[in-house]
């Protein structure tokens, strides 16, 4: 593995070992002096405002997404993940993130070497015991200063209100300035919209929990003014033991397979949270008046319960993958083979959800998308949910073979569009076959057929 920068966790210290699959701190495996970067003791940072449309996007800014964390500790408890879950991002509302990272200094072990106990295990060939005690990587560097994350979720009453607010705020994203606070307040007042705010910070201090956007902006100033006197570690650099003359991983193929499964589980978890957040919003008495319900509407409490079950199965599949790298299974095959739920599939949101006042979405043509990321971005821009089916029946160069519902179908915001594509995306790392992968491929092929 390469070096990875990940969020700081309690127990992380210079030279402490880490089990990357879980993010858990282990024993002190490495020794060496930690020193700051020469001629550069200071730091940097700036506030910026950005628009987010999904839990996965929020997790990316928080540094806990698959891409941002390098897959380290995707399913271990963390304050940042709890914050992302509590923000309840969903497609009906407009969600903005005010973020600041201020770095005061970075310190690392320049010449890491195994400690005596760890070195003795390697010398005696006890690599498996070494990894049980010290994990597969160690904390090499620590960045101190602070981070501030403030989320504003504006709950709009209609499509007209949404367009009015979006137009008002179109110039607000990017580096933060005093004008942004005025624009947010004016946009909400003109559209008679309400908002919820959420705050997470590391380092500095905020005395009172903000209750509205104005108080959130004031909290950002308070945090900035107190950070110098109360900095804290907020990120660490993890390095493989090989640079400290330690052992290589026991089986790179199995670990790659484990990482692929955990990555899939993490993305499914984020997407499932978005679906559940939307249903919670629709069922909330404070928002029911914004929706049109009819006899064709699905059983929302039953859908919500099914999504909660999905989250539980995703967590169990991830936990199994952490403990069993070689036999790791994605959630659907895991439920079918390990939980004896032979007909289990991930819950999809149907196209006939209650319709938000004035808000209809026409399904775009996903077949022109050249990659997973392009299709996912198109779905986010259209406020739809994507469900991928990788099928061995789709041959040739990677492409999206079919979509359901088809192009031009009018559906509710948040509805699921199922996309059938080749098994391998040219933009993704190739996955080496294993018994677990073969079970998954057979399952996908049967379902697509």
DSSP for 421-443, written as a single string: E-S--TTSPPPPP-HHHHHHHHH
Burial of 205 (0-12, 13-18, 19+ CB in 10 A): middle
Residue 329's SS3 state is: coil
Q: Which residues, including other chains, have CB under 8 Å from residue 225's CB and lie 6 or more apart? A: none
Rounded Cα distance, 384 and 346, in Å = 16
Residue 291's SS3 state is: strand
pLDDT at 360 (0 to 100): 66
Judge contact between 238 and 18, C-beta under 8 A.
Answer: yes
Q: Which residues of the chain have pLDDT under 70?
A: 1, 37-45, 177-178, 358-360, 424-449
pLDDT at 158 (0 to 100): 72
Rounded Cα distance, 218 and 179, in Å = 14
pLDDT at 162 (0 to 100): 78
pLDDT at 169 (0 to 100): 79
**Model confidence, pTM:** 0.81
Across the chain, what does the average pLDDT equal?
A: 87
pLDDT at 183 (0 to 100): 79
pLDDT at 424 (0 to 100): 64
pLDDT tens per residue across span 79-127: 999 999 999 998 888 899 999 999 988 999 999 999 999 999 999 999 9
User: How far lies 384's CA from each of 54, 92, 120, 311, 413, in Å?
Assistant: 10, 10, 55, 20, 6
Phi, psi (deg, nearest 5) at residue 417:
-110, 120
Residue 25's SS3 state is: strand
Spatial CA neighbour of 376 closest among 19, 47, 54: 54
Length of the chain: 449
pLDDT at 399 (0 to 100): 94
pLDDT at 187 (0 to 100): 77
How many Cβ atoms from other residues are within 10 Å of residue 446's Cβ?
10
pLDDT at 76 (0 to 100): 87
């Amino acid at each position: 593995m390469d070096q990875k920068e990940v969020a700081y966790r309690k127990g992380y210290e210079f030279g402490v070992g880490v089990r990357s699959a879980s993010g858990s701190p282990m024993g002190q495996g490495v020794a060496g002096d930690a020193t700051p970067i020469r001629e550069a003791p200071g730091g940097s940072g700036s506030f910026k405002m950005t628009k987010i449309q999904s839990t996965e996007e929020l997790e990316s800014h928080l540094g806990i997404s698959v891409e941002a964390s390098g897959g380290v500790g995707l399913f271990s408890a963390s304050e940042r993940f709890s914050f992302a879950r509590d923000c309840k991002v969903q497609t009906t509302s407009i969600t903005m993130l005010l973020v600041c990272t201020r770095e005061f200094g970075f310190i690392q072990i320049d010449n890491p070497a195994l400690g005596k106990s760890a070195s003795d295990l390697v010398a005696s060939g006890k690599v498996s015991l070494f990894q049980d005690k010290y994990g597969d990587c160690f904390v090499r560097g620590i960045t101190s200063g602070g981070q501030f994350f403030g989320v504003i979720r504006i709950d709009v009453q209609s499509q007209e209100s949404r367009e009015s607010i979006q137009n008002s705020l179109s110039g607000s994203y990017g580096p933060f300035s005093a004008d942004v606070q005025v624009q947010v307040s004016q946009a909400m007042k003109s559209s008679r919209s309400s908002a919820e705010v959420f705050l997470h910070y590391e380092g500095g201090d905020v005395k009172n929990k903000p209750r509205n956007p104005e108080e959130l902006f004031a909290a950002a100033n308070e945090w900035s003014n107190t950070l110098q006197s109360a900095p804290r570690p907020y990120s660490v650099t993890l390095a493989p033991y090989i640079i400290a003359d330690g052992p290589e991983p026991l089986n790179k193929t199995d670990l790659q397979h484990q990482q692929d499964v955990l990555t899939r589980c993490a993305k499914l978890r984020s997407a499932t949270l978005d679906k559940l957040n939307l249903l919670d919003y629709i069922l909330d008495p404070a928002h029911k008046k914004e929706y049109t319900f009819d006899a064709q509407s699905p059983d929302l409490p039953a859908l919500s319960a099914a999504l909660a079950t999905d989250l539980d199965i995703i967590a169990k599949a991830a936990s199994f993958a952490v403990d069993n790298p070689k036999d790791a299974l994605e959630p659907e095959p895991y439920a079918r083979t390990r939980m004896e739920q032979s007909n289990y599939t991930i819950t999809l949101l149907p196209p006939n959800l209650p319709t938000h006042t004035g808000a209809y979405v026409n399904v775009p043509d996903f077949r022109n998308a050249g990659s997973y990321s392009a299709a996912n971005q198109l779905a986010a821009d259209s406020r739809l949910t994507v469900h991928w089916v990788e099928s061995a029946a789709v041959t040739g160069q990677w492409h999206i073979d079919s979509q359901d519902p088809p192009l031009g179908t009018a559906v509710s915001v948040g509805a699921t569009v199922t996309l059938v594509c080749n098994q391998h995306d040219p933009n993704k790392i190739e996955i080496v076959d294993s018994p677990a992968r073969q079970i998954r491929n057979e399952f996908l092929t049967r379902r697509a057929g």
